[in-house]
Structure 1
Amino acid sequence: MQSQDVPPRHAPSRTHRAGAAPSRTGPVGEEQAAAALVEHYPRLVRLAYLVLPPDLGRSRRVLTAHALAQRAVPRGRSRSSVLPAQRPGRAGPGAGARRDDDPGYACLREQVLRTALGAARPRTGPFRLAAPPPLLPQVWGLRLFPRSGGADALALDQRLATLSAPARAAYVLRALEQLPDPDVRELLRAAGVSDPGGALASANGVPAHPGLLSSPEFDPCALQARPTDLPRRRRHTKAVLAAAAALAVCGALVALPDGGWGPDGAAAPAGAVNPAATAALDPGRLTRVPPAAWRTSARTDFSVWPARGPLTGDPALLRRALAVWARPGGTVHVSATPGTATGGPAGPPQLLYAGEVDTARVVLLYDGLRVVRYAEPKDGTRGAALDFARVDGATGAGASALVLDRSDGNVRYLGLPGFLVDGVPRAYTHAVFDAPVAGGGGRFPVVLFSPGSGGVRTQNTAWAEELASHGYVVAALDHPYDSAAVVLADGRTIRSRTTSSGDRDEDGRLAARWTAVRAADLRFVLTRLEHPGRDGAAGPLAGRLDTGRVAVTGHSMGGAAALQAARQDRRFDAVIDLDGYPHGPASPALRRPALALTQAITPATDPDYLPRLTSALEHSTATSYRLTVPGAAHLTFMDGPLYLPPVPSVVGSLGRVESPRVVAATTLAFLDATLRHRPVDLAGVLSAHGDLTVHHPDGTR
């Protein structure tokens, strides 16, 4: 789907005196506006896409931009619009495809700008009611989004996301439409912006890149399509039908009197009662999963979480939580992640947690599509809060923790069921503090390691010990504000502040930023090891580190950070990605050999993972390897199989011995070949452990 931004048909030439103020065009008829829409449609859609708030997500921004452009045609006989007059010397070939001479285009541009700004404008009033969304084009079974641009385009998109909607509009009108500031100010004022001067001033903080705004990154008419999850769509359809049936019954009975369900705290008064609603709001009918369900279930989502917390037996608290979910009163603060419905439960939900957290009582409930968090003060129900998060796609690592509370910049989580980590206290290590360095005076190659999202540097201790026993020095990192907890030298503890937004597109952008920070951490640590200085960063290994032979490695998001660090820093001689989705920009190309170990990934589980990883390896200027390990799961590539219960969906089916052996054997062979240049049959060693694909610099496999 490629766009064609056609130059406009110019109206008969007009003469304007130099410095003339913007003038208002005459009325524009519906037919004239419709003709302009057809001619300039890609340009108008691009304008709407750039001005719309980024938190809509790329796919929804695309559809909304098309809807706003299509609705810009006036429905009446005519409409007038503010149109900046053509300046002398601005017309002709030197001005490019300027559209200021076309009143129809000017009318549509003003209307598109007005509605796009309206979509981004915060609502005011006692209830902050949102305007009804435009009727979006319907695309069933596909997610549509613009093609990815380069690193510069991604950086510009991130900078634009920090601007307000009027400032984004000012930037786009100036850089894309090439309007002078007086014309931009007049057009913003006509579109309802109260402070055009302030918007222009804010836009000055972002350098002008008119060429980048015309790139595929910002073209909502040149789209990529990816399939959605068919089983999930079927589950959604069933849930929607059930919810619609429940709403229909409630609507039919809304006028019937009833005595209510008892003291519901912050819930609004009950308007009707019916059997379905009674069941959904009855604490006795909450779904409670047995504590050991994880041991035998093949599922890894929240549906197999047991009910936890000291207040799971408090029917009054649970009744209030259910009642507020169904009918939040005016004093309840309600929030939801983008794209998450805030309606009541269609049936009895599943109880995940009920207990006290600091000064509040907290209940977590799950209805198959959403996790709902109800919180009330310990001293009453006034000031209750209700938070919705869409989690229907969360499995495995994505369903490993839920937020219980946020305060003072810290986040408290409800983690995996306790029995899953019962074996951690019994785990032991061969590592000791202050171990003497091996004699001989030789220098050791260095391996840097970045853990997974929220992970800590000790998560791959057994693997690091194996590498160390073969003469490698492994430096594993904790990433402040990302790792679950980092204890600083002065005793302070820094906890993780990286949380999911609940929106897939926004989470992708957040992961790209976190990956960039991790890559910078890896480069910083290598610099410190090269130049330890007076603080003795290398410790007893001072003078024994061969920082001319360095590999950068990581698990999950740490693997993505390793790829980014290797792209950005030639000091890294090799890179290992342990089942890490390659977040962030795809350029520059890798220039060092890479090994990617993955579990079996299918388009149904993640349609983007393998294409992005394959693209990164194919464009490398060095030979790279991708090994798919049969029977592996995401946690196979860390120490998890050594102490977690042998649940295949969690740690894979290779077993406690084979899992670490496969990871160690493959990575050691790769490091020996790339850092020590030993004559290793690398392809033979790797292919013995799974399905191997070799990517050569000439493009062959």
Structure 2
Amino acid sequence: MQSQDVAPRPAPASDDPVVDVERAEAALVEHYPRLVRLAYLVLPPSLGRNRRVVTAHSLTQRALPRGRAAATPVIPAQSTGRESDPGYALLRLRVLRTALEADRPLKRLAWPKRSQLPPLLPQIWGLRLFPRSGGADELALDQRLSALSGPARAAYVLRGLEKLDDGDVCEVLDAAGVDYVDEALEEADTVPAQYALLDSPEFDPCSLQARPTDLMRRRQHMKAALAAGAALLVSGALLGLPGEGWGPEGPAAPSYAQNPAAEAALDPAQLTRVPALAWQSSARTDFSVWPPRGDLARDSALLRRALAVWARPGETVQVSATPGTPAGGPPGAPQLLYAGTVDNARVVILYDGLRIARYAEPTDGTAGAALDFSRVDGASRAEASAVVLSRADGNVRYLLAPWVRKAAERDLLKSRTGAMDLSVTDGVTTPMASPVTQQTGSCTSWNTLQLTDSTGTRLLTDLSELVPARLTTGRPGAVKEAAGAAALRTWAPYSCWLGALRSAGVRTVNAWAYARQALPDGTGSAEWLCTRAETWRGGGERVLAQFRTPGATHAAVAAKGQNVAACGARDPHVLAGVLWKAQTGDWYLLAAGARDTDSIRATGGVDGTSRGSLLTVRAEQGARAELKGTLDSGRSISGLG
């Protein structure tokens, strides 16, 4: 058996000018998964994933020559000196030719070709088939390939999947009937050469997932076509199926479950609705005491669609979730936080004790519905103060907790400017500029949400998630809200770093100025700051040690770490170093630890020792050093990163 990792190459035409059916059939059986993958990748994405899968299998199966005694010419060889299989070369050419034909528009005065029509076989009733989902890289590549023309897509796939050089690609495309081969190669060059991703399950139409089709719509068509008496019998049977008694469920996939508990969780009448003033007497102050708000809070049809999509998102629903957020429907009847019309969309916010779910659909229909999840288990009063309600035109609106008394917008980068008040109506703020979209080039501002309640004032920032992250300052274990004048001055030079934390499931970010160090050229003192981002899932924490010289508006990253305890409540210590060039042109290794650092030692490319928490040693440009520190307790620590 030949390996399927690298495609077999055909022999020279002079050695074997024809291929009989038996040889082609053997090649089809042996290399069927590769041929189907090739067809799937070249077929136009406009067909949709389900039809691309079925069509890819259909084209591959029809690639076999007709007749038991037929003999078919072989295309010229693409290379010599490799293991050959002219049967595979023939099938690849036929598959490629028909896949490219499927991408060509129908002509008014010509009969359509077989490949331009929906496949008669195979057909699967009641199911939609599509490959397993890959990662973000595969999704991005699929989007780039969908923007290419059919020949350019074929060129990219022949390069990456078949491992052909450009000369061989030109011969295959020319044999497949492509008119402008050079233009196809140039267009394929616009997509990064991420050829290894073509072997991903994302593009494997032989390893499939199945989901039901829209059975309710099909049943309606069937009932309309039947006689009145038969239609009544069929209707009576269908009324007993789950979901039918609740009415249309919009973009949700159909349900086959007949689990009473699961059905109750999707019944709008069973939604938990907390009384408006329950938070005032509750021992808890988190999302569990938010009352329902919004002008559509009693719209049963909208709530039914939101619940159904949460449990069974259809193929057209755009679903996103922060890292570590479990998938699946609610375990029981969730709590309603909001249902209303916001920025030309109908929005529903639900909470199930673990997650916030946001369902949004256009006001003129359900096409383009979106479902977003964020994990919020164990949220405190400060972290349960706001939820992102909508984003539009670079702005963001928030739904605020009932205990919030005042909301304002503050530019974190400009600590001396005041906050601009936001109007709040039924818990919904007026739009404010979101840092998610405003940071397209140089970082000149970072707008945050400033909230005030009976316990004080705090800052939250939008990081492309449903729940904004809370900002704090101070030594780990004794942090405070980043709202006072000193805290704002601490955060200002480091706020642009927050852009690196988008969509990472961040819960809180703390900034701790742990040391100041006199510069050896006498130009002032530099500041060392440790920023630590904690996540909702309790893992994936990111830590940065940053270094800022006098007068600098932004800081330099000196060291970083991930999934480390440093600079956190469990290990409130940090040690980091940086190579720094003085105005005299001399280079130095500068290092700093927290106040309880007894000594620091540098080894490797730089050798030096200091007593105390600061180290200054002459160094050469580009030198690399390893840092070790000793705490007052005698414990040893290593340099971050």
Structure (1/2) with the larger helix percentage: 1
TM-score (norm 1): 0.42
Larger radius of gyration: 2
Q: RCO (CA 8 Å, sep 6+): is it higher in 1 or 2?
A: 1
Structure (1/2) with the larger strand percentage: 2
